[in-house]
Structure 1
Amino acid sequence: MSYRHGLVVGKFYPPHAGHHALIDHAAARCAAVTVVVAPSRRESIPLDLRVRWLEEAHGATPHVRFVGRYDDHPIDYDDPAAWDVHCALFREAAGDAEIDAVFSSEAYGPELARRFDATHVPFDPDRGRVPVSGTAVRADPAAHWSALTPQVRAWFVRRVVVVGAESTGTTTVARALAEWFDTTWVPEYGRELTERKLAALGPAATVYDVTWDEADFVEVAHRQEAAADEAARASGALLICDTDARATEIWEERYLGKSSEKVRAAARWPDLYLLTDHEGVPFEQDGLRDGEHVREWMTGRFRAALAGAPVPVVELAGSLEERLAAARDACTRLLNKGWNLAEPL
């Protein structure tokens, strides 16, 4: 090891491949490394999330310690008093152990090292080895997706949920969108549970023999959301979900007459809902469906549940080609909106 205790300071807004390379560079040269994560409160990504993401990404290097501190002081590299304030915060975060090396890719690195009476160790200052920056990622996360770790991607991913009554094409739309946008889609867990319940009843049983209770819908809601969370880590910038916990509320109401608090509590708003209309779509019995007689009611119930939603809701009607075109347009508009993260200090 070249140094006893290295220091890395940054906002990590968000953590990206350049940050990870810098931290790995320091870890390979120091007996101990303290990484101070120091954003301002005005920024869009919470401090605790950034620390958690970095800890997860660098779990294989236990001698690297991550410390989070909010730093709301204005930045002025020409003002010694501003330097004093920031460095006092960094010293407190780093603890009592002497810092003998400061690692950075920024122009402020030499002065920061001087103030710690430490050696400055520059890493990739021209971004030649890892051509990415926090500014570029914030401007267009989708264009820099490969520079983000799975946990960071999951935070940025735009979730699109397709809902609708039975046999209205939700799965067809979800699968087609995932193929079009070269991303991941999340199948319906309730269908998987229906298959298991039906199989447990024996070969003579039909879907009309399957019974449901509140615990089943709680399981469906939680498993559906957990599957979406897991898929978000490996997804592209769009994640397509064939139903969600909010839709499970309506299915619970359909079977049990009301939805339960546990299912309602599992519901989260995605970034976009696509509602498939039942009109003009023939009902196809595949052995797992039992709701042809309530399709009109369910479409209306979905409309009512999504009325006034804080996210866009696009209803898909007409031919399959028309539905897919409308769905693709809605997803493209969602991506084109960008992420609109607050500017750092």
Structure 2
Amino acid sequence: MKVGLTLGKYAPLHKGHESVISLALEEMDFVIVMIYACPETTSIPLSIRANWIRDLFPRVEVIEAPDGPTEVGNSEGIKKLNEDYILERVGNRGITHFYSSEFYGEHVSKALGATNRIVDPNRIVVPISATTIRRNPFEYRRYLSNRVYKDMIQKVVLLGAPSTGKTTLAKALAQELSTQWMPEFGREYWEKNQVGRRLSPDQLVEIAEGHIEREDSLLQNSNRYLIVDTNALTTFLFALYYHGSAHSCLEELAAKTKDRYHHTFVCNNDIPYDDTWCRSGEVNRRQFQEATFRELDKRGISYKTLSPSPEERIASVLRELSSRSAPENA
């Protein structure tokens, strides 16, 4: 039985990596892919990167290596460190071929007693590297599958009561970051479907689902970030306001907001109230704002509150994004 092994950080998994795995699947009876944790290189968690491989290549066995060495080099010490770890994890799996595009293919294959299967070492077939992609994923997204690219986009959601400046800020941030923004689908839906200034529980579910569907459709052409004006948590609060309770499907979608968004900002309600026909007054704005903070705290969602100054709001968001995205820019 021919058993192939390949490994890497896959930060991110690109078409070059995919070609190595695909070739191994063509030539081997069984393929193992080992993926390392590398927080010093990328902020994308190991589990997400591992699931890229599982989803795109369901026939391979994926081994997550959270404690694997990440030192790269040609010194005897580094080579032995990596060889010892690989042998410990898969040395008894009968590896017959080791697949890579790197210099370490030779010494790892020798340690495994396997054939050194080098694939496109000069990057001629797929002229890209993960390092290059990390510098500008948007420019090189053609080398990434849609499945991978969407997970590289950080979703930035803006919350707050009606008339707290979310839409204005979303537009400004998208312009600053040269990316896209997702308008509040609920407002569009409400204006078309409201009866007596109310929506039914089922209609509120449609809003939350429609908003998520539109978000996802924007990811492939977003640049590092997608700015989102409200989310299912806002729709959930409207359900409580209208009906005193929420549909179970909406409850579930609201719960998922904790993990769906990478950054949550709340626009303060200390700006002048814009009393349009579709809003319910300044008292309601204050109550809705308080409810927003309660829900975020109850659900354990980390957030940053933004000042009333438009300029300071933009600067504050940009500072936060920069500080939390450092590994991606390494």
The two structures share one fold, judged by TM-score above 0.5: yes
Alignment pair present for 1:67 and 2:62: yes
RMSD: 4.1
In the alignment, which residue of structure 2 is the partner of 1:53? 52
Query: Shift of residue 108 of structure 1?
Result: 1.6
User: One-letter code of the match for 1:326?
Assistant: E
Distance 2:81 2:219 in 1: 44
Question: Pairwise mapping of residues 208-219 of structure 1 onto structure 2 (< 5 A)?
Answer: 209-219=196-206
Question: Pairwise mapping of residues 9-20 of structure 1 onto structure 2 (< 5 A)?
Answer: 9-20=7-18
Q: TM-score normalised to the size of structure 1?
A: 0.69
Question: Pairwise mapping of residues 148-227 of structure 1 onto structure 2 (< 5 A)?
Answer: 148-198=144-194, 209-225=196-212, 227=214
Contact 2:163–2:269 (Cα < 8 Å) also in 1? no
Which consecutive unaligned segments of at least 5 residues does structure 1 have?
Answer: 199-206, 318-322
Query: Shift of residue 260 of structure 1?
Result: 7.4
Change (3 A) 1:185 1:32: farther
Alignment pair present for 1:108 and 2:107: no
Alignment pair present for 1:248 and 2:246: no
In the alignment, which residue of structure 1 is the partner of 2:129? 132
Match of 1:39 among 23, 36, 55: 36
Distance 1:292 1:57 in 2: 50
Contact 1:278–1:296 (Cα < 8 Å) also in 2? no
- Once the two structures are overlaid, the 10-residue window that deviates more, 330-339 or 212-221, is 212-221
In the alignment, which residue of structure 2 is the partner of 1:320? none
In the alignment, which residue of structure 1 is the partner of 2:264? 272
Change (3 A) 1:197 1:102: same
Distance 2:318 2:99 in 1: 40
Distance 2:149 2:121 in 1: 25
Deviations 1:20-65 (A, max 9, x none): 343345456x255614223259886555433321243457xxxx62
Distance 1:109 1:51 in 2: 21
Query: Shift of residue 166 of structure 1?
Result: 3.5
Deviations 1:191-247 (A, max 9, x none): 24324524xxxxxxxx5x243344444443454345435544542211111111232
Deviations 1:161-180 (A, max 9, x none): 22344355433432343244
Distance 1:189 1:245 in 2: 10
Contact 1:39–1:47 (Cα < 8 Å) also in 2? yes
Query: Shift of residue 121 of structure 1?
Result: 3.0
User: One-letter code of the match for 2:36?
Assistant: P
Distance 2:313 2:21 in 1: 42
Change (3 A) 1:224 1:18: same
Change (3 A) 1:169 1:40: closer
User: One-letter code of the match for 2:83?
Assistant: W
Contact 1:183–1:238 (Cα < 8 Å) also in 2? yes
- Once the two structures are overlaid, the 10-residue window that deviates more, 294-303 or 149-158, is 294-303
Distance 1:41 1:180 in 2: 29
User: One-letter code of the match for 1:160?
Assistant: V
Change (3 A) 1:145 1:254: farther
In the alignment, which residue of structure 1 is the partner of 2:89? 89
In the alignment, which residue of structure 2 is the partner of 1:22? 20
Deviations 1:248-282 (A, max 9, x none): 34323433356678265243264131416473354
Question: Equivalent residue of 2:199, what SS?
Answer: coil
User: One-letter code of the match for 2:67?
Assistant: D
User: One-letter code of the match for 2:280?
Assistant: G
Question: Equivalent residue of 1:106, what SS?
Answer: coil
Give 1 or 2: higher helix fraction. Answer: 2
Question: Equivalent residue of 1:337, what SS?
Answer: helix
In the alignment, which residue of structure 2 is the partner of 1:310? 302
Contact 2:20–2:119 (Cα < 8 Å) also in 1? yes
Change (3 A) 1:16 1:162: same
Distance 2:9 2:106 in 1: 18
In the alignment, which residue of structure 2 is the partner of 1:201? none
Query: Shift of residue 150 of structure 1?
Result: 3.5
Distance 1:88 1:293 in 2: 64
Distance 2:305 2:144 in 1: 29
Question: Equivalent residue of 1:236, what SS?
Answer: coil
- The alignment-based identity, stated in percent, is 24
Change (3 A) 1:46 1:245: same
In the alignment, which residue of structure 2 is the partner of 1:337? 323
Contact 1:145–1:153 (Cα < 8 Å) also in 2? no
Q: TM-score normalised to the size of structure 2?
A: 0.72
